[in-house]
Chains A and B, each alone.
Chain A
Amino acid sequence: MQIEQLQIFEIDNPHQVSSVEVHAQVLITSWVVIALLIALPVVATRNLQTIPTGLQNFIEYVLEFIRDLTRTQMGEEEYRPWVPFIGTMFLSIFVSNWSGALLPWRVIQLPHGELAAPTNDINTTVALALLTSVAYFYAGLHKRGFSYFGKYIQPTPVLLPINILEDFTKPLSLSFRLFGNILADELVVAVLVSLVPLIVPVPMMLLGLFTSAIQALISATLAAAYIGESMEGHH
């Protein structure tokens, strides 16, 4: 995988140049994903009717799915405010992964670098995982105040180091799960295509579609589960 890099130079002092880099291909593909995700509801909510048809049916189904997902993890009383967060998490990961698999990014030749799913970059997945971490911390503190920190010594204080470690492993596992799945799938498909371009990669591509959809679901479900768990605490 090549990375197209834009170098932005910040001059601190004459003897030192620090450069801040940006992976532009990730930004480009993420803008496409955002455009898709915004165009869909804009088109579909133009004429909302009581008896839905077509596109409105579809977006209602998606919202129902997300609500159900959130409600299952967080309980009936408190799930409402978190639907946008979990929904955006699910939809952005899902559309990112499927755009990487389905859209013909290779048609656009970049000078150096390649366009692919935005989630095959460690920055994207770590960003999402950190957002989830911040979200569940915020949820816990908002709901329970400083007694939220009591969860570290439950069920027994012996587990304190493990509970602290959990705060680091949760975002780590979230990010790596998504990153590894998407990147590995893309690499395998790329290698297969370079070897036997005709029919052989197709089952791998279909598997890739399936697993990337599952990964989106898992990321969203785990995010909701962590938030729900930190809100209710261990009982």
Chain B
Amino acid sequence: MERVVNMRVAAPAALSMAVIPCRASSARSSSGRVPAIRGAADQKVRVRYNCAFFQEALQNVALKVSQNPTVRKAAFLAMNTLWAIPAIAEEAEEKGKIFDFNLTLPIIVAEFLLLMLALDNLWFKPVAKVMDERDEAIRQKLMGVRDNSDEIKKLQEQAEAILKAARAETTAELNKMRRETAASLDAKLQESRQRVEKELAEALANLESQKEETLRSLDKQVQELSDQIVAKVIPF
């Protein structure tokens, strides 16, 4: 922090030095441009000096004075007292202190508390609500998923049992079908064999009878032939 003391430093270059802080620092100590807010009559009026006006005055004086050494010293002393006067008059403003506690502190406290309330209602509560609801929903879904895996296992076992039963059933059916067809085939085979045998027997019988007949006829023919032969052979 700029110390007010800088302004009052007694140095040969005090005149010019006094000007520079005024310009560069945009007028700290004696440049009160803020008009006093007055309450009632009969009070001490704090004098505010205009920095620019001071600068010009100083420059003029400096020009005039820099030539003559005694005048210079006198002017230097006058400058210092001149700089001191506002300091005496306005003690409160000459704060170059770094630890400048004032009404700002409770105002900041109040602002912080109001900000805390505002942020709590605008930011922390709504966003916390959304986040917590989301967490709950996710947790519910996770729980649901965990139960489902048991159900799935049960269903799987049921499906396997059904499959097994179905397979057994089909094999049983298949066997039955097979047996039945085999039986019917057998029956048919038997039937046809019997037919065939019958026909065979018939044919054989036929052949037998024909043979008999032929034999008989042959017998007859032989008889005739033998009679003829005898007739032919034995002349008379």
Contact = CB atoms under 8 A, between A and B. Distances in A.
Contacts of A200: none
Interface in B96-114: 98-109, 111-113
B26 A111 contact: yes
Contacts of B120: 84, 88
Contact of B105 (A1, A40, A48, A126): A126
Given A1-B1, A92-B115, A131-B109, A26 B124 contact: no
B93 interface: yes
Contacts of A118: 108
Interface in B1-50: 1-2, 25-28, 31-34, 36-40, 42-44, 46
B127 interface: yes
Contact of B42 (A14, A56, A124): A14
Interface string A30-44: 100010011011100
A103 interface: no
B108 A48 contact: no
Interface stretch (B129-137, B171-179, B181-189, B207-215): B129-137
A19 interface: yes
B233 interface: no
B69 to A, nearest CB: 35
A180 B128 CA distance: 35
Interface string A76-87: 000000011101
B35 to A, nearest CB: 9
10 contacts: A7-B37, A9-B37, A11-B40, A20-B102, A63-B128, A88-B115, A92-B112, A111-B26, A112-B28, A113-B26
Interface of A: 1-3, 5-11, 14, 17, 19-23, 26-27, 30, 34, 37-38, 40-42, 45, 48-50, 52, 56, 59-60, 63-64, 67, 83-85, 87-88, 91-92, 111-113, 118, 121-124, 126-128, 130-131
